[in-house]
Amino acid sequence: MKILFRLDANKQIGAGHFERCFAIAKGMQATHKTSNLSIVFACSLLPKKYKDRLQDSGIKYIPLPVLQTQSEDAIYLKNQLEAKVDLLCVDHYSLADEWESSIREKCKKLLVIDDLANRKHGDIDFLLDQTFNRTEAAYYDFVSQKTTFLLGSPYALLRQEFYTIRNSKRPSKRSIAPPRKIVLALGAMNHAGSTNILVEFLATLRKSYNLSFSVTILLSSQANELSSLKESIKKLPYITLKEDCTNVGVVYSEADLAIGACGTSSWERCALGLPSLTVTLADNQNEIARQLDEYGAHLYLGHIKDMTFSAFENAFMMLSQTPSLLEEMSKKALQICDGKGVANLIRKVGVANIFLKKATTQDIKTVFKWQSNPVIRQFSRNPNPISWSEHQKWMKAALKSNTRHIYIIRSKTHLDDLSVGMLRLDEHLDGYEISILVDEKFQNQNIALNAIKSIPEQFLLKKIYATVSTANKASQNLFTKAGFKKVEADLFVLKNKEELINEE
């Protein structure tokens, strides 16, 4: 499987595009530890620290010329590719319809990551916008009807550490007022010296109100105005600067309050329930800032260029004197994001690891839930509802049968392992008859196709038959795609394992 990412990261645009794509890439690697997975990043003038991270992770890098036009960029990248990639992910505000249409011939699936909803996109398969409460209506004028939307904070693209900390080390009670440990993280590149401004504000507050908090600053080693910042904090022993921090989740989990920007770090703070005072650094952060503020997950103070000490002082002291507000903010933040965005994306684009597990009595209730769904039953030989007692009797007998073989389809990512469907093989004529169902929530993710590819080899030594209603166009296409031959209007046959198609 070949995955290609197109993005840029530098002092001007920051590191957000790199960080969210890197989180996806690492999630895919962890999902497919033993499979033949190739991941490539294509970027223009990528700083050395990011190239080193790619190399350390076994991710290939294609250097691109400075972006001039969409067409030139697409043509250059196409010339670097020997064959089609299985998935192309583009995370770039300067690339849109023209670039996507040109590159389309080089990818089987095309995923666009966006959060601006301000430009037309081409023939794309997926559009991901992790903005809280984002709706499809924002993109109706910009994408085709075939595009699948992946919207809202369930698709917040975070590294695995945030999910791990959230679930193994539950965030401590966030009601310490005044806060003792503050983390200051206004973007990796210190846009417009924003960190320097807030350091000055915090120093003034600490002295004026005789407060005793400590501050941890998170920045890139290539951040703007870094030397002047280091000079200014030399006389402030309560401030620690962490450059290129590799355990941000731990730092957040130990803090009482964050002062941050409204990019990717918004979701990191929410996942760990960290109360926050926030500012925006660019216009693309405005919608996230507004939505999270209205929900009560952070307190938004406006754009950094409009920030005054008086406004910051009032907000900080209000939180410092109101433990209940901090606690409520923490609860709201935890509701926003569970840290599983990358896993959700991996499933939706069909990159999860699909395998079969022999069914047991522990699966009876789950299978009943699926078979009771009228959407799933509509093309069954018997579309009528079944009772719980009927189902129990049928499945217990089926599990004991030597001529009926039931498997649960499992979908595994780096974060979880879920039951998503059932595959059954019944002895039939000179082979087996296959039937397959997929949980409605997980349909259109290549699960059924990959489940067929996972059929144990002993069954592939004989013919496999599939009886499919002529009205069920999706299933008819599925078995054709898997290599079955259509021998009658509603009958498909796979004669042997050599006919099974392994290419998607």
In Å, how far are 214, 264, 340, 467 from 446, measured between CA atoms? 50, 29, 20, 20
190 and 303 co-located in one domain: yes
Domain end call among 336, 371, 397: 336
The yes-or-no answer on residue 405 being catalytic is no
- 159 has binding-site annotation: yes
Q: What is the CATH number of the domain that holds 404?
A: 3.40.630.30
User: For residues 261 and 249, what is the distance between their CA atoms, to the nearest angstrom?
Assistant: 16
Tell me whether strands 239-243 and 485-488 are parallel, antiparallel or unpaired: unpaired
pLDDT of residue 11: 87
Give the domain range for residue 9.
Answer: 2-151
**pLDDT tens per residue, range 82-121:** 999 999 999 999 999 999 999 999 999 999 999 999 999 9
- In the set 17, 32, 121, 298, the catalytic residue is 17
**pLDDT tens per residue, range 304-352:** 999 999 999 999 999 999 999 999 999 999 999 999 999 999 999 999 9
Beta bridge partners of 183: 216, 258
Where does residue 463 rank: exposed (0-12), middle (13-18), buried (19+ CB within 10 A)?
middle
* Residue of 403, 408, 412 whose CA lies nearest to 362: 408
Domain total of the chain: 3
- Share of residues in the chain with pLDDT > 70 (%): 98
322 and 441 co-located in one domain: no
**pLDDT tens per residue, range 206-264:** 999 999 999 999 999 999 999 999 999 999 999 999 999 999 999 999 999 999 999 99
Does residue 307 lie within any of the structural domains? yes
Strand residue runs (E) in 361-502: 404-412, 417-428, 431-438, 463-467, 485-488, 491-494
Q: What angle do CA 417, 422, 424 make, to 5 degrees?
A: 140
User: For residues 37 and 319, what is the distance between their CA atoms, to the nearest angstrom?
Assistant: 48
Does residue 156 lie within any of the structural domains? no
196 and 108 co-located in one domain: no
As a whole number, the mean pLDDT across the chain is 95
User: What is the mean pLDDT of the segment spanning 24-48?
Assistant: 94
Unique residue bearing structure tokens 């699909």: 354
382 and 463 co-located in one domain: yes
Does residue 423 lie within any of the structural domains? yes
- 290 has binding-site annotation: no
